[in-house]
DNA sequence: GTGAAAGCGCTAACAA
DNA sequence: TTGTTAGCGCTTTCAC
């Protein structure tokens, strides 16, 4: 920076003003400084700036698992939204572990990020991490909620989504054949709420519990067959699970949708193009990202934490390629 | 930090020593300082530390697209490897754009990251970004290579992988029925090398070009049908593409593997559990991550850039769930 | 409109 | 072994 100042024949303060562009100044001088900077290949040290300003214009996103394509899609969309508004998004994965999550959040905090967006790993065990983070920086919970901690939340209405799915299932199959729920772990709010939503609609249908990944859906088919069920509708708690279910069904020789109908939840990323007739519930990812941006801008001030629950929409199954 | 020093009755330098744990010191004092720190909820400001030390123990990973599950898998594995060795991995996505990639890399550099790992967007247009980064920090190219720039590379031998696939295809189908390649864009080295590998094995087979995503595989089925092909083996340049192909085939009423066999490439993440009979080539992700760690540790010093090309392995198609 | 100077939080060299 | 001091690169008063 000193070099640029010398090269342009001004002081370091002027270089700073010329490049950060905040205050009014002689445009001719500004141009000269910018040219010198380019010529010398100078690039501001964000650490120096952040140390002085006490904040970096970076938002951290902590996800439970990057290999879940729904989280990847959330990350991509959030990055897009923030990028258009002067922020950079950096993503870190907890790899399913509460300890790694805690450690990663600590690292984010140490870097003086502007805000933290977190999809908590565990409805209970992530609470301490959230409490800690909230003392230092604006925090938003995304998609999954730790209710015990007073931190704003943005997500979709999982129970309403299940209601939409249930209506579809009943319409498509008024005879009321077998319905099975292939759920995820109940240690996340989304998993629990979707199970509750399903139970309210189909109190007597069997519900299996697993995790949010393809493998579980694949294995669940074995369990369903073992129950003696050979046709019906399978409601998966997420599209990744539905994908595994479809794979398992076809591998086991069933026909879709003749033998089994499969519906999912999330409606995003890869699943949009997976298999025929995957009907799903689409989460309003753009609006959720916008809501997060808004919270971050406000600094997530009050002790009165917002809980922004947006409405998902029904998406009918894809047809085959022409 | 001053507060902790006062609380423990020592100087700031001692607090620093006690918490970063580098130098020898009175263990009793160290314990006291650590206790004070915990009591006051003190956490080091990594910015201050990095500013002083001129480096952060963070490695940046720039990927073309987080929604590609193969890249997500690479990111997860790299994070795991680095985490075990004192580094933190932060991920940023270029969202398919060279401009966003350049901007993200600039941001990483401004943060004084310890090293940059990059899966370049474009075999040509990413060159400037690589050159710029290499001036400031150790850089490793991963999976895709910009040959024009002298920056070390870690990846797998795509041509050898295609050879393995070809052997399988010929064995499974000695009659030699129709083989079609559903490729990706040739603006990435992996896309180009896999196409070349295919061409060398099947000089006369048709090869379609598209992109590394599910949607393209799905659409490719339409093109194949339009060519009048109604059975054979489809070689996809990546598992994500194979996934789309399978979806398209089944949606169009074909049977797999009776009418069409499908093989993929990458062998990682979601694709491991997708559909029956998806045979693929598995990239040695763990060994690739280890190689990257090694390069980062060495500081990627010499002007003689390494090109570490590891051997992939053949993975036969999955069977159905029991 | 611009420069001089102070200081963000930390650590490394040196002195005690 | 510990304290003192200087300074990493930047921005922001406060004078001019």
CATH for A127: 3.40.50.2300
**A200/chain B closest Cα distance in angstroms:** 30
The answer to whether the C-beta of A41 is closer than 7 A to strand D is no
Q: How far is the CA of B19 from the C1' of D3 (A)?
A: 17
The answer to whether the C-beta of A19 is closer than 7 A to strand D is yes
pLDDT in tens, A117-132: 999 999 999 999 999 9
The answer to whether B236 and B262 have CB atoms below 8 angstroms apart is yes
Whether A26 and A119 map to the same domain: the answer is: no
CB–CB of B111 and A47 under 8 A? yes
Whether A230 and A293 map to the same domain: the answer is: no
Q: How far is CA B216 from CA A109, B182, B183, B243, B246, in A?
A: 40, 9, 9, 10, 12
Query: Which 3 state secondary structure label does DSSP give B287?
Result: helix
Residues of the domain holding A24: 2-44
CA distance A248 to A192: 24
The answer to whether B209 and B155 have CB atoms below 8 angstroms apart is no
Query: Which 3 state secondary structure label does DSSP give B134?
Result: helix
Give CA A142 to chain center in angstroms.
Answer: 6
Whether B163 and B243 map to the same domain: the answer is: yes
Whether B162 and B271 map to the same domain: the answer is: yes
pLDDT band at A25; cut points 50, 70, 90: confident
**In chain A, pLDDT over 70 holds for what percent of residues?**
94
- Please tell me the predicted confidence (pLDDT) of residue B318: 57
Q: Which residue is nearest to nucleotide C7 (CA to C1')?
A: A52
Considering the domain boundaries, does residue B322 fall inside one?
Answer: no
Considering the domain boundaries, does residue B242 fall inside one?
Answer: yes
Whether B280 and B291 map to the same domain: the answer is: no
- Please tell me the predicted confidence (pLDDT) of residue B317: 75
A79-102 burial code (b ≥16 CB/10 A, e <16): bbbbbeeebbbbbbbbbbbbebbb
The answer to whether B99 and B122 have CB atoms below 8 angstroms apart is no
> Would you state the structure tokens that stand for residue A214, as one six-digit string?
């393809």
- Please tell me the predicted confidence (pLDDT) of residue B247: 83
Whether A254 and A265 map to the same domain: the answer is: yes
Whether B151 and B116 map to the same domain: the answer is: yes
Considering the domain boundaries, does residue A317 fall inside one?
Answer: no
Summarize the confidence of residues A69-78 as an average pLDDT.
96
CA distance B236 to B202: 14
> Testing the interface with A: which of B47, B214, B236 to mutate, by most A Cβ within 10 A?
B47
- Please tell me the predicted confidence (pLDDT) of residue B250: 83
- Give the number of domains in chain B: 3
Considering the domain boundaries, does residue A322 fall inside one?
Answer: no
Nearest to B80 among A90, A95, A112 (CB): A95
- Please tell me the predicted confidence (pLDDT) of residue A322: 33
Q: Which residue is nearest to nucleotide D11 (CA to C1')?
A: A52
- Please tell me the predicted confidence (pLDDT) of residue A269: 64
CB–CB of A215 and B273 under 8 A? yes
CATH number of the domain that residue A21 is part of: 1.10.260.40
Considering the domain boundaries, does residue A316 fall inside one?
Answer: no
Please give the nucleotide, over all strands, whose C1' is closest to the CA of residue B52: D8
Whether B128 and B17 map to the same domain: the answer is: no
Whether B167 and B247 map to the same domain: the answer is: yes
The answer to whether A278 and A246 have CB atoms below 8 angstroms apart is yes
CA distance A128 to A45: 33
The answer to whether B29 and B15 have CB atoms below 8 angstroms apart is no
CA distance B85 to B130: 25
CA within 13 Å, CB half, A267: 19
Summarize the confidence of residues A49-73 as an average pLDDT.
94
Considering the domain boundaries, does residue B85 fall inside one?
Answer: yes
Whether A127 and A213 map to the same domain: the answer is: no
Q: How far is CA B159 from CA B176, B189, B197, B310, in A?
A: 21, 11, 4, 11
Considering the domain boundaries, does residue B277 fall inside one?
Answer: yes
> Testing the interface with B: which of A65, A267, A320 to mutate, by most B Cβ within 10 A?
A320
**In chain A, pLDDT over 90 holds for what percent of residues?**
78
What residue has token string 């690589």?
A: B130
Please give the nucleotide, over all strands, whose C1' is closest to the CA of residue A43: D9
Summarize the confidence of residues A244-265 as an average pLDDT.
89
pLDDT score of A316 more than 70: yes
Give CA B48 to chain center in angstroms.
Answer: 31
pLDDT band at A225; cut points 50, 70, 90: very high
Residue segments in chain B with a per-residue pLDDT below the cut of 50: 319-322
- Please tell me the predicted confidence (pLDDT) of residue B269: 65
Q: Which of A165-179, A268-282, B94-108, B288-302 has the highest mean pLDDT?
A: B94-108
- Please tell me the predicted confidence (pLDDT) of residue A321: 39
pLDDT score of A223 more than 90: yes
> Would you state the structure tokens that stand for residue A228, as one six-digit string?
């003696």
Whether B75 and B182 map to the same domain: the answer is: no
Whether B7 and B116 map to the same domain: the answer is: no
Considering the domain boundaries, does residue B212 fall inside one?
Answer: yes
């Amino acid at each position: 920076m000193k070099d640029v100042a010398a090269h342009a024949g001004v002081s370091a303060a002027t270089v700073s003003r010329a490049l950060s562009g905040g205050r009014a100044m002689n445009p001719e001088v500004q141009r000269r400084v910018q040219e010198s900077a380019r010529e010398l290949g100078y690039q501001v040290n964000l650490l120096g700036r952040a140390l002085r300003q006490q904040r970096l214009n970076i938002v951290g996103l902590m996800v439970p698992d990057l290999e879940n394509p729904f989280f990847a899609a959330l990350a991509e969309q959030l990055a897009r939204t923030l990028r258009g508004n002067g922020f950079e998004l950096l993503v870190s994965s907890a790899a399913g572990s509460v300890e790694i999550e805690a450690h990663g959040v600590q690292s984010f905090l140490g870097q003086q990020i502007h805000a933290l967006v977190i999809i908590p790993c565990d409805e209970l065990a992530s609470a301490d991490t959230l409490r800690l983070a909230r003392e230092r920086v604006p925090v938003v919970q995304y998609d999954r909620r730790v209710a015990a901690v007073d931190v704003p939340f943005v997500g979709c209405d999982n129970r309403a989504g299940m209601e939409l799915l249930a209506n579809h299932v009943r319409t498509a199959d008024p005879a009321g054949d077998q319905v099975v729920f292939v759920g995820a772990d109940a240690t996340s709010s989304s998993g629990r709420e979707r199970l509750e939503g399903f139970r309210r609609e189909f109190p007597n249908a069997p519900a299996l519990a697993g995790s949010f990944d393809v493998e579980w859906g694949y294995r669940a088919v074995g369990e369903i067959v073992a129950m003696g069920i050979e046709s019906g509708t399978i409601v998966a708690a997420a599209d990744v699970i539905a994908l595994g279910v479809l794979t398992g069904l076809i591998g086991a020789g069933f026909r879709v949708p003749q033998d089994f109908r499969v519906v999912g939840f999330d409606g995003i990323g890869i699943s949009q193009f997976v298999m025929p007739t995957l009907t799903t519930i689409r989460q309003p990812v753009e609006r959720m990202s916008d809501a997060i941006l808004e919270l971050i801008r406000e600094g997530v001030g009050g002790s009165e934490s917002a809980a922004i629950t947006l409405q998902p929409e029904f998406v009918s199954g894809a047809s085959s390629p022409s």
